[in-house]
Amino acid sequence: MKKEKKEESFLKQPYYVGGDSALKEFITKNLVYPKQAMEHNIEGSIPMTYDINYKGEVADVRLMHHLGFGCDEEAVRLVKLLHFTVPKLPRNLRVIFHKKLTIHFRLPKHPEKALESQGYNISYIQKPIQKKMENTPVPSVYTYTINYDN
C-alpha cells in the first residue's frame, strides 16, 4: 500500500503577481528602446534564461542570443527589475528556479517620441498679491503645472 503524498510536500514554482499579462505589461511599460539601436534601425528578439532565488529575486541572467547596440543591456536591466512571489517551500528549502523569457525589440511607429525621455515638468510660479488692507496678512499664491507626456 502506497503512502499518499501531501500537497505541501511538492515544490511550487515562483510566479509573477498578476500572471503573464502583468509581466508583459511591466516589460512594455519599462522597456526603453536604446538610442543606438534606434539610430541603426535594429529590431529583433532576445531569448534568455534567468534564475530566481528563494527570495523571489532574479539572481542570474544568461542571454541565448545577442542583438547588440544596447539591446542586450536593456534586456538584462529589465529582467533584473522583476520580482517574483515564491510560495512556501517544504522543509524551508532554498531552491533556485530557472525560467525562460523572450524580450522583443520592435521599432516604434513614431521614433521622435520614443527618443524623448519621459518625465515631469513642474513649474513654480509665485504671484505677489497687492495688499487690500495694511493690517490683514495676505497669503502667498502657489501655482503648479505638471505636464506628463506619453
The pLDDT averaged over each successive group of 10 residues in the chain (150 residues) is 77 93 95 93 96 96 95 96 92 92 90 53 60 59 70
User: Is domain 8-115 given the CATH code 3.30.2420.10 in the classification?
Assistant: yes
Q: Distance between CA atoms of 18 and 26, rounded to whole angstroms?
A: 10
Return phi, psi of residue 97, to 5°.
-100, 145
CA 103 vs. chain centroid, Å, equals: 13
Output the pLDDT for position 114: 47
Name the residue type at position 106.
R
pTM for this one? 0.68
Could you tell me the maximum CA-CA distance found in the chain, to the nearest angstrom? 97
Q: How far apart are CA 150 and CA 116, in angstroms?
A: 9
CB 52 within 8 A of CB 97: yes
* pLDDT, position 53: 96
- SS3 state at 107: coil
Domain coordinates of the chain in residue numbers? 8-115
Please tell me the predicted confidence (pLDDT) of residue 134: 58
